[in-house]
A and B are shown apart, each in its own frame.
Chain A
Amino acid sequence: MQHLDEGTIHAWLDGQLPLDEAAAAEAHVAACRPCADAVAEARGFIAASSRILMSLDDVPRDVSPKQPLTGAQAVPTAADVMSAVASATPDAVIDLASRAAAAPRVGQRAPRRWFSAPSLAAAATIVVAVGTFALTRAGRQRSDEGGGVDVALRQAAVADSAASTVAGPVVSAPPAAPPSPALGVASAANEVQQRAKPADERSVGSTARAEADQSGLRERQPERADAFSRKAVDVAGAKAPSAVAADAKRAAKTEERVTLADAPSRLAKDPSTRSFQDSARRQVAAANAAGVPAPATPPPVVPQPRPDTMAVQVFRGSARQSVEGRDAASAAATTGTIRGRVTDGNTGLADASVTITGTSIGMATTGDGQFVLAGVQPGTQKLTVRRIGFEPVSRDVVVATGQTATADIVLKPATTSLNQAVVTSSATAQRQRRDGAAASAPTPRPVPAEAAPGAAVTAAQSNAVGCYEMTITPTSQQARTSFRQTPRRLALDQEIVPSNADGVWYRARDLARTGAMPNGLWRPVGTDGIELEWTYGSRLARIQLTGPAGQVMRGTAEELDRASGTGEAGTVISVRSSCTP
């Protein structure tokens, strides 16, 4: 018999060959080594294509290049929301989340919020501080350029500026008492802010005050202002080496001048400034408690040639950076990294989910089992690793600011039996044949088994946004897409489109952060149950669950391939109702 051509192989794997041809193909593949290899390769291409296309689903709403913080708002992306979930206070999360929920509506604008004069004044002060500091950084950067600025130098500059923004004011303020670890978080932060004030004002200089006076914004809210400004300066400083010079040029070209009264309101309007403020406080407190490493010299203050106008122009660039670059900068300044490899004792395990309990930080391991988690809060963190067919492992890892901790994890094959409900829809003849044929393909995955039901969802992540968290554990070996090869935990959030009176379209947030964002229909059933329906790829899954809030609810899901109408057995669903809707 003639070998199968590639098109026939794909048609066969897609379940699209007529029955007789499919049977012939199967028989041939079973007897023909080169064809079996071709089939394996085709499977790889099919899975890879699905995965690649899935990563396109992260497309944000507006694809046109960003405007430099114009009056319209910067719509928070899903990533923003998730990082906020990781680091911000609950009310900030809700604020962000509600904005995000509103954002997808076409043409809808986030509500304008106006702030009182004092907060504007406070923000105005920051603006000048940021501008001045950015110039300082830019000047310093220019002087470095003579020697050729390589990446290492930039990184060093980033680290240096990050340290100096916290430590600098403490060192240069005249009567600086030694930092006391015994102080409470809030009071420690306050103390540093108080001490920082003189330094801030000095570095801002008389120009800054003149600017503030001109705008008629003389009042200050010292605490807010300082918390903001330190964070803003921090961020601007961290970004400065690579970005500020360019931004300054861009800003200088811009015809439209931002007035001091106008610009800060935009800054203040952004809900992220709230989480900003909080993380700035935490950061200062953490640095203080740890005993701030004092730099040998305070950051140099470069005299400004024409500071009054320059400061305002530079603001545009640096403030934008301060908003957009906050994740990067805070990650660099206050967090650590965990790096490691997940193995079965010998070889690396791909697609294992590695998460940090209590955060939304996590990723799936790469092909050889490697993982890197950045932006981890310092301290002892609980790292949890899961993979189908293996016992989940949790380990405490000590993370230090700016350091990389190493954690190599060895997983043991699972021994617990599957005691969750399993999809029981019957497979069709076609499906069965496909499975049978797959047995001839090389390297089948380990036989999937599932950990105890509680274990799959006990490491509950933030539920601030959604009320339900769902774990999908596909047990099929013949997973067609990568989505089906890794267990998923999804939080349901973000209203999209109301569809009818008792149902709302929801988008599920993928807690494993591997990119799949299936859409689903959520509907309350009775007083303590929900019905979920969601789609991904060509699949449609449906489940009805009942149970009190806070409990893990398990049930059988009916899953259909919409293309072939065939069901796929083996997918386990558990849903945790994490609050009362």
Chain B
Amino acid sequence: MKDEDVERLFRTYNTALVRYLTRRLGDRDWAEEVAQETFLRALRQDSLSSERSWLFAVATNLVRDEARKDERRRRHLAILADEERAREMEEPEPSSLERAQNAALARKAVDSLAERDRLALLMREEGLDYNEIADALGLSVGSIGTTLARARRRLALVYEAMQADHRRGAAGGGEGHAAS
């Protein structure tokens, strides 16, 4: 591919790809590295028939290869960092606290999904259609609906359950505050 083709690819897909990877990895620096590597690989291709699914598939594979060793560790660190942040802000303004907590809960909920379900959902959120998702993940088009249904249901339910737990935990602290 020529430089200007890749530039166009970059302009068109970089935002979505980085967001997809960030959501997948929980680390934006890492996500940007992987996205860059993906575009570099695109440069080495003659042409791409389905460019978006190609990009997402390559990025996903890069993550899979690179991450195999230390992904678990990083993800754990990410959760720790989220929790730490949430804990440090004991009584700050509601929105930033809420955001930090929501992000931590969301991260856990996303991590609770099966890898295939998670990837399908993240790709769908970036606007890939069922054919592209099937291409990128090597699944049949007919199974994508079921995969997404399972992923969304589980994500929503797990998140809700964790939030309910969290609220119960927070309720005790709230009463203490009111008493003071």
Contacts and interface: CB of A to CB of B under 8 A. Distances in A.
A55 B95 contact: no
B94 interface: yes
Nearest to A515: B99
B32 interface: yes
A150 B177 CA distance: 11
Contacts of A499: 11
A176 interface: no
Contacts of B32: 106
Contact of A11 (B29, B88, B145): B145
B149 A7 contact: yes
Contacts of A32: none
B125 A53 contact: yes
Contact of B22 (A9, A49, A56, A151): A56
Interface string B117-161: 000011011111110000000000001111111111101100110
A479 interface: no
Interface residues of B, number: 68
A82 B28 CA distance: 20
Contact of B127 (A6, A332, A563): A563
Contact of B27 (A63, A150, A362, A537): A63
B149 A42 contact: yes
B91 A332 contact: yes
B149 to A, nearest CB: 4
A64 interface: yes
B146 A5 contact: yes
A155 B176 contact: yes
B107 A56 contact: yes
B16 interface: yes
Residues of B contacting A: mostly: helix
Contact of B176 (A42, A64, A150, A327): A150
A550 interface: no
Interface stretch (A254-262, A293-301, A370-378, A392-400): A370-378
Contact of A363 (B98, B148, B153): B98
Contacts of B48: none
A59 interface: yes
B77 A151 contact: no
Contact of B152 (A49, A56, A154, A538): A49
16 contacts: A11-B144, A44-B156, A49-B121, A53-B122, A56-B103, A58-B103, A61-B29, A82-B96, A83-B93, A151-B172, A242-B90, A328-B91, A374-B94, A375-B93, A535-B16, A563-B129
Which 9 A-B residue pairs are closest in the complex by CB-CB distance? A538-B127, A151-B176, A7-B146, A11-B145, A7-B145, A155-B180, A375-B93, A48-B156, A563-B127
Interface of A: 5-11, 14, 16, 42, 44-46, 48-50, 52-53, 55-66, 79, 82-83, 104, 106, 150-152, 154-156, 158-159, 242, 324-325, 327-328, 331-332, 361-363, 372-375, 499, 513, 515, 519, 535, 537-539, 561-564
Given A45-B155, A56-B23, 12 more contacts: A16-B145, A42-B152, A45-B149, A59-B22, A60-B28, A65-B80, A152-B179, A156-B180, A325-B88, A374-B93, A535-B15, A537-B126
